[in-house]
Every structure is written in structure tokens, then in C-alpha cells.
Amino acid sequence: MQQWVEQVMREWLLAFGYSFHFGVGSVGPIDTWVQLANSGWAYQWGPSDYVEIHVDSLDSSVRRAVERTIHAVIRHDHSQQPSETVEAWLREDAYRPTVELLREWELPQTEATFSQPQTIELSGGGDWQGQVPGYFVWIRFAASLRASDVSETVEEIIREFLRPEQLEWISGETPSILLYQSLHSLDMYDETFGSPTGGEADATEEETMSFRVLLQALVAALESDGSVLANVIVSELVRHPAWRRRAITSLTLVRRMAERRRAVLTTTGIAPFSDFIAEFTVAALPQAAKQACLAAATSRLPDAAFPLSEDMARTLEGMIAANLNISEAARKLYMHRNTLLHRMDRLYADTGFDIRRFDDAMALFVAHQLSIREEVPNSSQHRV
């Protein structure tokens, strides 16, 4: 057990630049932090297990993350050893906050092109290789799916739509499939994913199908022919072999963002990385900047309350989706124009932001995104 916790802790503490010592012995009562004489801190979680971290000052967020990591690992399936497999990476999101995952975002900037494709090693053992550019696609099925009942049919349907270089079943709370799809293998030579509204216009002859439309058709076929409900998360575009791990990490981030957004606006069941640019930007801000932005937003009105209630968040997102066109937003939100105007007045009275103005709408969107994140302390729990 200790060995496994050590491996996980080593991976991420080193990633964030902390030196540490992992030891056995008693440094204090169980489940506590102790400041050590050698400018280090030790956290002990069992009668004889502790981790010692050497830092000048121990940030409370690091402190919380260490605790959460250790306890999550302890709760985790003990029989599974951490490994370099994609499955293990996907599971990391169980104990790693978004902001920490994003710290690993620095990677080589060189890109592979279609004329000079490079290969990507897909699994730890090197059994699978695919060409970049491509996407990792995570297909998650409804919890009620008994994989053994339909797995054969599901795979057959997926392989009729896609030409995956790798396809693995991932065990977990809900059954899922992770696959890597090189764009070279598809009948389209277009790196764009397609816009969220793509495919709504009448299809013309010989059009190039975007990857988004292809996946939407796959989800529908899984429902109608496979009798299974699925949602699909798509990674960032993998342009370089070294981006593999980052792309897989992006899947877990997209999943969180999509789940959060679904509480406000429903989606089509396809959640690609490229649809969550605003949310990622907000998530990637340093903690101090997040707090400063939120403080600036709440300074408009002393009583301004964040996060916004679901109704108010819908109003805001509806207006942004309609490019601040009130009639269009009312149509999208299925509400009467007068009701929308009334809600915007209420939002202005409650927050000091008039979302008819572009600047105010964007500022409120960012403030709302910041306030619904767990990582930001001091945001009021009171809702408008």
C-alpha cells in the first residue's frame, strides 16, 4: 500500500516542483500536518506512514491536495498498481483537481502535419501505434449497460463508423471505451472538428462530413441498433506524439466541464475539448488571479451573490449563445421576451452587471465560472 501511495505522490509532487521524502515512522498524531525543523512539512495518515515535503511555505491548496490524494489512493482499488496505461491516467481525475492537471500543459510546440505524419505510442507496452494528428475518443455508456450483453454489437457499430488504431474497454463505475482515431484513417482530410451547430443545415451532395457529425451519427446508431445510451468525450487534437498524455488528461477535464455545463444547458451527447475553451481559460488562471477577478466582480455591488442561480445562469448563457440578441435569446430559452427582460433587470439589480452590454456579459460569465469552481475559496455559497 505504502509503495503505491509513494508512486502516485512522487508523480505529482515532482510534477509541481516540490522535493519530498517519503518515510515510515511516527511524526505526530494520525491525520495531521507537522512542521519539521528542516523547513519541511510532514503529513501522517497512518500509525507509521508519512510524507515529508520540503517547501518554504506550505500553500493550503497543496496541503489539501496532498490529503485528498493520499486518501483517494487509499480508497482506490488496492489490487491495481499504478502504471503508464491510459486507464490509469483516466482514473487520476478521481483525486487530482483541475488546476493541478493543467500545470502539466507545457509540451513541445512542434507539430506533425499530414504530409509528415509521426507515430504515437498508444499504450504503455508499445503494442499499439497510431499516426498523428488524431483524437482520443472516450465513449461512456449508461451505468445500466451490462457490457457482456452488448459489447460485441457495440464494437461492431463503432468500427463501422470509425477506424480506430486502438480500442480498449475501460472498467470503472460505468463501462466505457477509449479509442484513438487518426485523421489519416478517416475519409476526410480536414482537421476541424466542426462547429457546435454544424450539421444543422441541409446536407448537400458530396459534402465532407466533420468529425462531430460522424460522432453524432455514431451515438444515434448506438442507441437505435446497439440499444445503449452513450456520450462521447473528445480530446484536444493530438498533433505531436509527446502530446499523448496531455490529450488523455484533457478527456477527464472535458468530462468535468461537460457535467458542469449540462446542469445549465443540455448538450448533444458529444463533448469535444474545443467546445470548452472559455471554461479551460478560466480554470487555467493562477489562484491569485482567480480570487482577484472574483473580488473585482463582486465589488460592483457589496451584496452581489455568486454563484448565480440556475435560472440566472441559463439567462446569461442563453444571451451569450444568442450573441446578446434579446429576441434570439428569448427564442433559445423558450421564454417570452418580457420575461427575459425582467430577468436581466433582476440580474442587474442582484449583481451590478447589465448583460445587454458585451463587456458586462463576458465579465459576469467569467465571474460565474470562477464562483462555481470548488478550487476558489471565499466565494459566497448564497445564490442569487
Partner 1 sequence: MARVKLEHIYKKYTADTIVVKDFNLDIEDKEFVVFVGPSGCGKTTTLRMIAGLEDITAGDLLIGDRRVNDVAPKDRDIAMVFQNYALYPHMSVYQNMAFGLKLRKFSKSEIDKRVRDAAKILDIEHLLERKPKALSGGQRQRVALGRAIVREPQVFLMDEPLSNLDAKLRVQMRAEIRKLHQRIQTTMIYVTHDQTEAMTMGDRIVVMKDGIVQQCDTPQVVYSRPANMFVAGFIGSPAMNFLHGQVVEEGGRVYFRANGLSVALPEGRYPTLKSEGAIGKEMVLGVRPEDVHNEEVMLSTYPEAVLDASVEVTEHMGSEVYLHVMAGNQSMIARVNSRFQYRPGSAVKLTLDLNKIHLFHKDTEETVAFQQSERALASSEV
User: What burial class does residue 77 get, using C-beta atoms within 10 Å of its C-beta: 0-12 exposed, 13-18 middle, 19+ buried?
Assistant: exposed
207 touching partner 1, by CB under 8 A: yes
Q: Which of 293, 335, 363, 370 binds partner 1 (CB under 8 A)?
A: 335
Give the interface segment with partner 1, choosing from 22-30, 142-150, 276-284, 344-352 (CB under 8 A).
Answer: 142-150
Give the interface segment with partner 1, choosing from 28-36, 103-111, 214-222, 237-245 (CB under 8 A).
Answer: 214-222
Q: At what angle do helices 244-262 and 277-284 cross, to 10 degrees?
A: 110
200 touching partner 1, by CB under 8 A: yes
334 touching partner 1, by CB under 8 A: yes
Amino acid at 197: T
Least CB distance to partner 1 at residue 88 (A): 28
Q: Which of 53, 178, 214, 316 binds partner 1 (CB under 8 A)?
A: 214
Residues 6+ apart with CB under 8 A from 310: 263, 264
Rounded Cα distance between 339 and 327, Å, is 11
156 touching partner 1, by CB under 8 A: yes
Amino acid at 118: Q
> Cβ of 56: how many Cβ atoms within 10 Å?
5
148 touching partner 1, by CB under 8 A: no
Q: Which of 4, 161, 169, 348 binds partner 1 (CB under 8 A)?
A: 161
313 touching partner 1, by CB under 8 A: no
173 touching partner 1, by CB under 8 A: no
Q: Say if CB 357 and CB 283 are below 8 A apart.
A: no
> Which residue, 31 or 207, is less far from partner 1 as judged by CB?
207
149 touching partner 1, by CB under 8 A: yes
Q: Would you give the DSSP letter of residue 354?
A: -
- The three three-digit cell numbers of residue 78, written as one number: 488496492
204 touching partner 1, by CB under 8 A: yes
Among 238, 233, 253, 243, which residue's Cα sits nearest to residue 93?
253
Q: Say if CB 162 and CB 178 are below 8 A apart.
A: no
Q: Say if CB 353 and CB 300 are below 8 A apart.
A: yes
Least CB distance to partner 1 at residue 9 (A): 32
266 touching partner 1, by CB under 8 A: yes
Which residues in this chain contact partner 1 in the complex, by CB under 8 A? 142, 144, 149, 153, 156, 160-161, 187, 199-207, 209, 213-214, 216-217, 219-221, 223-225, 227-229, 265-266, 333-339, 341
